[in-house]
Amino acid sequence: LDVRRAPDGRWVPQAAGWTEAGAHDLFTLLDRLGEVGLKHLLCTDIDRDGMLGGASVALYRELQQRYPALAIQASGGIGTEADLETVAESGVSGCIVGRALLEGRVPLSSIGRVFGVER
């Protein structure tokens, strides 16, 4: 799910190329999806996506606390190995490292090490 923090502080899923806000906030939507068996979530803070300025760790911590059985992948904002470690400490199952990996800011070996998937 692509999400953005609304002016009132709620996390709101976005659609149509991030131009339209969803009808429900993120947690209401996840509660409903949980009722039908949601097991995995890829969640991108679109305001941080590709910006390399750090991830929305508070969001991922809250998601992990509210939905401990959900396998969560964080996305958006990873710019350094320290960002990667901070996201991992939030309890998520994994994260997307796009631009930072492509630009050599975060080596692939660090991702495996931090998330325990070394080859």
CATH of residue 6: 3.20.20.70
Taking only the tens of pLDDT, the chain with its 119 residues reads 999 999 999 999 999 999 999 999 999 999 999 999 999 999 999 999 999 999 999 999 999 999 999 999 999 999 999 999 999 999 999 999 999 999 999 999 999 899 987 65
Residue 54 lies in a domain: yes
pLDDT at 92: 96
The answer to the question of residue 100 being in a domain is yes
| Residue at 119 is within a domain | no
Range of the domain at 39: 2-114
In this prediction, residue 119 carries a pLDDT of 56
CB 98 within 8 A of CB 58: no
Hey, which residues does 4 pair with through a beta bridge? 12
The CA distance from 73 to 85, in Å, is: 14
Please count the structural domains in the chain: 1
Q: Which of 90, 89, 81, 74 is nearest to 111 (CA)?
A: 81
Which CA distances in Å does 25 have to 7, 21, 68, 78?
12, 9, 19, 24
